Chains A and B, each alone.
Chain A
């Protein structure tokens, strides 16, 4: 009963959204469906023109590198949809989880390590969520500061050293296993995506996250504890970053505090390119998966074509700006 009234309130409040679909311009259509075409074109281009892309070893490598970024991006989609821009602290979260996984499991075994990583993830979610949800502080600045605090704490306790897992341990076994050409980590990515898509589309929590992103005050007036919703969104991100840290640790069987540099940015690129709006309220986890494929293939093509790191960063930065521009312009067109 309560859920239905809430649905009505928010549907009425958001009825302006319907106008967007009436517009005749091509931009909203590109913002919505462009990613399907661009991904297909990119894959086609890579397969035909780039030497060494369409080999089995390379495809497996793409999967390996896409998996942790994709898991992070799937979780971060929640924060983006809730209208809080992004969670920069995933960089620190992934590294923390990976280092805890290897360092603690060497001493106390894998289950304890998992619990410790969960504890760290909850800390991040609470600090970020309370600061953004209850203090109404800016998410970019809050997560920027928690990134530095988190990396600082990690480097202080680890002394900046690299942790290695045992060669015959369960972590190594998981990281090396494959199902045909698909490594287990990619399967984890798909499971996480399906799970989070279910949470976002079919549960009460996911509904409230989406409604908060599209109309904050309507959601609050509908009787939702909006602070808790924000904490929840950051918690989903933290859990995903934790799993991504495990996958990353298993893949390389080493962990160091700087291993996830650039994840915040690649995940954000994937989310935005996938068509999730940075203005909040619109997007899906499956779209993010598509965006991850696009970004990973693009990065892979740049890497195997021997294009330097600088150009890769420029490409990703321009990609984000272009994707956001298309999104913003399509909204403007829709409003007219």
Chain B
């Protein structure tokens, strides 16, 4: 009875290479792959120890990557969560303050969800720009971490649990790495296979169109911020357990690296484009780079400069940014030509 109409947009590629070309053109991870290739080549020539001590590298990648994964969920919708660094610190301190480890973990993760809820409220309901709202939260929560911890690192009560947590569980993989892999798989499935996750792209690409199409935009924004808050608090819990102490100052260096990982992974800051896989590749590149720096004894300021430069490069070399530059150069040139003629 009902007639199905298929609308064909563009030409259908039939040859194998044509399909392959189309597949590659659709991917967004190009820059992350390039960075990873450069980093791997340089590191394998200068500091092969990174691969021998792969447990350290994996731990570092998991630390950067976990926070970056949560950020990706928010960035896909064109929002940004600057408060992740403080969420990490607050949830770590909360966990360390509660004597029972299990209860502490649950409460800390709840704190992360609550922070995500507050961020989502300001962005989706009040309508504040997420950059400013989460910046306010970044400082307010850091203050909260200082208050709760009396401005000093808090040791966890059950140190045995922390030490056990640092040991390898399956083969060479520590629980931290396993949790990271689990988070990656869950988020990848959520974003690429689940309806709610796929709608993140629609919300980021064109919010009005998504709203008109009946997508619950506000609920998706809430979901995104709660994912990023939850994942950040998960990172805080893992950090606290591994170090058997919670530092209220934690998270600031992770903030920069995880932003760089998410942005260079091809996630467009205005939303609608990106992938979880890209974030993973970006986090791998940055984690390997950081471990290589540490192992070869590069000074901390130089490391900061490098990570800052990568973030600056990541945020300026997005295809959309490059198009903007080309556009302005062209308009300047055209203006000149018209003026002369």
Contacts and interface: CB of A to CB of B under 8 A. Distances in A.
A46 B243 CA distance: 43
Contacts of B304: 148-149, 151-152, 155
> Which of B128, B269, B321, B325 has the most A CB atoms < 10 Å from its CB?
B128
Interface in B93-143: 122, 126-129, 131-133, 135-143
A248 to B, nearest CB: 21
Q: How large is the interface on B (under 10, 10 to 19, 20 to 34, 35 or more residues)?
A: 35 or more
A317 B312 contact: no
Contact of A332 (B127, B131, B147): B127
B140 A317 contact: yes
Contacts, number: 157
A138 interface: yes
B326 to A, nearest CB: 10
Interface string A85-101: 11000000000000000
A265 B301 contact: no
B151 A320 contact: no
A132 B294 CA distance: 32
A308 B147 contact: yes
Contacts of A311: 143, 147
A131 interface: yes
B328 interface: yes
B309 interface: yes
A310 B259 contact: no
A140 interface: yes
Contacts of A227: 328
> Which of B80, B128, B139, B332 has the most A CB atoms < 10 Å from its CB?
B139
Contacts of B332: 225
Interface string A286-328: 0000000000000000000000111111111110110011001
> Which of B263, B301, B303, B318 has the most A CB atoms < 10 Å from its CB?
B301
B314 to A, nearest CB: 8
A229 to B, nearest CB: 12
A140 B256 CA distance: 12
Contacts of A145: 256, 260, 308-309, 311-312, 315
Nearest to A80: B132
B67 interface: no
B307 interface: yes
B139 A313 contact: yes
Contacts of B324: 134-136
Contacts of B256: 144-145, 148
A155 B145 CA distance: 27
Contacts of B206: none
Interface string B137-174: 11111111111100100000000000000000000000
A85 B132 contact: yes
A288 B307 CA distance: 33
B138 A136 contact: no
Given A135-B316, A145-B312, A309-B151, A85 B129 contact: yes
> Which of B80, B145, B304 has the most A CB atoms < 10 Å from its CB?
B304
A156 B324 CA distance: 34
A140 B131 contact: yes
B145 A310 contact: yes
Interface string A262-279: 000100100010000011
B213 interface: no
A328 B130 CA distance: 12
Given A140-B82, A313-B139, A320 B132 contact: yes
> Which of A154, A155, A324, A329 has the most B CB atoms < 10 Å from its CB?
A324
A308 B127 CA distance: 32
A142 B305 contact: no
Contacts of B131: 85, 138, 140
Contact of A146 (B132, B141, B312): B312
A81 to B, nearest CB: 14
B82 to A, nearest CB: 7
Nearest to B141: A317
> Which of A135, A225, A324 has the most B CB atoms < 10 Å from its CB?
A135
A141 interface: yes
B146 A316 contact: no
A321 B128 CA distance: 9
A153 interface: yes
Contacts of B143: 309-317
A275 to B, nearest CB: 15
Nearest to A133: B328
B2 interface: no
B138 A317 contact: yes
Nearest to A332: B127
B68 to A, nearest CB: 14
B12 to A, nearest CB: 34
B316 A137 contact: yes
Interface in B280-317: 299-305, 307-309, 311-312, 315-316
A265 B134 CA distance: 12
A320 B133 CA distance: 8
B320 interface: yes
Contact of B140 (A156, A321, A325): A321
Given A310-B145, A314-B147, 19 more contacts: A86-B132, A131-B312, A131-B315, A137-B316, A138-B269, A141-B315, A144-B311, A145-B315, A149-B305, A156-B301, A272-B132, A315-B143, A317-B137, A317-B139, A317-B142, A317-B143, A320-B135, A321-B128, A325-B122
Interface of A: 85-86, 127, 131, 134-138, 140-142, 144-149, 151-156, 160, 225, 227, 265, 268, 272, 278-279, 308-318, 320-321, 324-325, 328-329, 332
In the A-B complex, the 4 residue pairs with the smallest Cβ-Cβ separation, listed nearest first, are A317-B140, A313-B143, A310-B146, A148-B308
19 contacts: A86-B135, A131-B315, A134-B324, A135-B316, A137-B269, A140-B80, A145-B312, A146-B308, A151-B304, A152-B303, A152-B304, A152-B305, A278-B129, A308-B146, A310-B147, A310-B151, A314-B140, A324-B133, A328-B127
